[in-house]
Amino acid sequence: MSMPQIDEILGPARPAVGEAAEAFQAVRWLQQVEQCATAYTAQVRAARGSLASNHAVAVDRLDGQLATVSLVAASKLAAVVSDAQQAFYAYGTQVTLIRENAAAIRARAEELVLMLQAYVRRLEDIGQQAGVSAVYSWRSPPPIALPNTGPVRWGNVGHDLTHAMNVPEQLAGQWHATAVEFHRVCDELEVLRASWQALHERRMSAERRLAAALRVPHEMSRWQFTADAGPSAGGGLALISRV
């Protein structure tokens, strides 16, 4: 029996997709954006403070714009960025766990395939002695009981007739023990296959949650922000227009 490839056993599901490092990098970038938004809010409040002593109509109108437009927009931006940070962090954490579990499942599947190879060789040897010829696979494991045998090949049992008479019973016992282990391995492979599919579904669910969390609220789509080098370089955010 030719041994199947690991991907054939585990199925078409692909749980180990996506990089946690990229998600955590996004978290770090969003932290910078949040710092910019905080600095922008502080600048707007400082500007309003400098206008507080001037009661000209134009100044009052500008102050109102700062209060109702700039501060509101910055506040909403900060909330969106905070939610996005949490979403990326949760996604990165999930991807890390999924990849670790997927690696463990694949490693165990590889161990089980090696065990099947050993059992196949043993069954082939028993079958050759018992006159049984059949092909089994992890999908179609051997019967627990030794199938009806053809003429037993006595070449390896010597000339002791009593010993020779016991050969079929011995072969049946060896077949039974090996077939039981074969079935146990196949059952575990089925469990691994189901776990692999469950990991795939977890990964898809994590991606859907991330995508949902990153949807920009409708009112935010009406604002345009520009950013320069970021807080570490003395830059920041500016609300440039309302569209």
Domain count, the chain: 1
Q: Is residue 109 situated within a structural domain? A: yes
For the chain (length 243 residues), average pLDDT per consecutive 10?
A: 74 84 85 76 65 52 55 74 87 92 95 93 90 81 81 49 58 93 95 95 90 69 46 42 37
**CA 161, CA 152: separation in Å to the nearest integer?**
13
Residue type, 178: T
Residue 143's pLDDT is what? 92
Q: Are 30 and 88 in contact (CB under 8 A)?
A: yes
Q: What range defines the domain where residue 79 resides?
A: 15-242
Q: Is residue 163 situated within a structural domain? A: yes
Please compute Rg for the chain using Cα positions: 34
CA angle 222, 228, 232 (to 5 degrees): 125
pTM of the predicted protein model? 0.68
Q: Is residue 1 situated within a structural domain? A: no
Residue 54's pLDDT is what? 56
Q: Is residue 6 situated within a structural domain? A: no
As separate numbers, helices (DSSP H) first and strands (DSSP E) second, the chain gives 5, 2
Neighbours of 229 (CB within 10 A): 11
Q: Are 126 and 171 in contact (CB under 8 A)?
A: yes
Helices 71-130 and 20-51 pack at an angle, to 10 degrees, of: 170
**In sequence order, what are the beta bridge partners of 242?**
223
Q: Is residue 61 situated within a structural domain? A: yes
Residue 47's pLDDT is what? 62
Residue 130's pLDDT is what? 85
Q: Is residue 155 situated within a structural domain? A: yes
Residue 183's pLDDT is what? 96
- Token digits for 226? 């520009």
Q: Is residue 3 situated within a structural domain? A: no
Residue 21's pLDDT is what? 83
